[in-house]
Structure 1
């Protein structure tokens, strides 16, 4: 399998996320589905019927529980400065190749993305950690989410979010919908 940075480049992810330097991948598995590796296509019918949050796995051997897991969707025709935030969990530990979201604190509850035709969306899963010398500030995360849409997922500008919160991408995945 290609390195995560190569996959992010090939899928055009940097146009949405901005400059990131992920060294590890995330693998995502919804209930009753196979695991999806970075760069793979996810059938829309699978996501549209999966109401439960997925399990997330990684090749990252992190320690502690200071990680932030973010799930974003960028839909075709949408500005690259605007992604839909479908899930944010803070204080997430990583253990035995598993991102243990059930042990974290939900900042934005899981909202399944609505997928249409293939090629209509990119789903991003990001495992974030404070940059060296920076501290995680949940208030800054919540401030970035103030642009919530009624009855829908909050809008998020990932570039601005990473810059304003002092977070960096440790592990990532992009799935095509």
Structure 2
């Protein structure tokens, strides 16, 4: 039984974007420590009505400040949380995860992908985790991470998923890795 999940949006929300002047403070391979919240703006809004959700996946994983304060996930190995100010239907406080934790866990023989060159994968259609690779990393270092060769998607351990799901957040659902579908996950 696989204990890893991806997150998928489950309702229409805008496509959010950090203004160019603030990108360096949010998008970085190194952690940043902004002195004030970084603005996050709605760039493209859905035609239908929508609500402000508890979890955003763009530009990276963002938890509403209320949810963040409730669930106690501030200490994620290889992660740093920075304050975000969502400006859409008013102003809303969020915390965004900067993630620098990459682990080699994919089974390159049994996973199915369109392209694999220079240790980089694209076009994944079937995700298989190599249990031997996984076991070589302590659990606290693999609660939330990206695979080294397929860094586009974040893997979430059941421990993290249970904590977040326990408060029934609006906006996302957790999908087992074995149910991955590239049509919704890119």
| TM-score, normalised relative to structure 2 | 0.23
| TM-score, normalised relative to structure 1 | 0.24
Greater radius of gyration (CA): 2
